[in-house]
Structure 1
Amino acid sequence: MKRFKKTAFIDSAVPRRKTPVTQRVCFTLRVRPERMAEYRERHAAVWPDMLRALAQTGWTNYSLFLAPDGLLVGYLETEDFDAARARMADTEVNARWQAEMAPFFEGTDGAAADDSFNVLTEVFNLETQLAALSAQGEGAGK
């Protein structure tokens, strides 16, 4: 296990976001065990048109994480998730991508992953709490 050196907390060292993001979105899906290797391969080289469409429709800092049991966790940041999803749904490349990806997932009954994922509720965000702490003058807390 890698050990990290202890350092003093310096507020000025906390990275600040340069672009406005109003929503952080995390969602889950389940990839079929027998399709996990191919799912990884497909996402190692996503179509350039799909990458551009995601960026142009407001999906930023988008990542997917796949657990050994097939649990897929997605994370993205966007100004308006519903609007970003709607814009993406209107693209031809997304229709093709979703049709190709649908068989990879369990529990979707063949529906597009975009229409089937379970969006999670955010319960903690470091940046938000640090900003609140800073606004309080750092005097509050333990």
Structure 2
Amino acid sequence: MQRMGMVIGIKPEMIAEYKRLHAAVWPDVLAQIAQSNIRNYSIFLREPENLLFGYWEYHGTDFAADMARMAADPVTRDWWTHTDPCQSPLVSRAEGEQWAMMQEVFHVD
């Protein structure tokens, strides 16, 4: 299992919409997340900085392939047409990233 964290900005005027969307995530999107070997997925909001922090645990063996399969899923792609306009990707993110991945520097159970 690999713990993964990521961050992205959120447009202040879109916070209510983003919360509304995530209060009722589409079942097919949730199924795709599970099929992509992602467990224990949470998104946190930090105001007034307007940052979203995402955390999940990856239980697969080929992260790139699982993420490619997720990105190819038509329902997930449709979901992203609703969520992406709410977000403000960080300038410092890696090429091809929407959310900027983070390095784990500490963990304790």
TM-score between the two structures when normalised by the length of structure 2: 0.84
Match of 1:122, SS state, is: coil
Partner of 2:105: 123
Identity %: 40
RMSD: 1.7
Partner of 1:72: 52
Bigger Cα Rg = 1
| Preserved contact between residue 59 and residue 84 of structure 1 (Cα < 8 Å) | no
How many residues are treated as equivalent by the alignment? 101
In structure 1, runs of 5+ residues without a counterpart are 1-20, 109-113, 128-142
Partner of 1:32: 11
Q: 1:82 aligns with which of 64, 72, 75?
A: 64
The answer to which structure has the higher strand fraction is 2
Partner of 1:48: 27
In structure 2, runs of 5+ residues without a counterpart are 91-95
Higher RCO (Cα < 8 Å, 6 or more apart): 2
Structure 1 distance, partners of 2:66, 2:3, is 12
Superposed displacement of residue 36, structure 1: 0.3
Q: 2:37 aligns with which of 55, 58, 70?
A: 58
TM-score between the two structures when normalised by the length of structure 1: 0.65
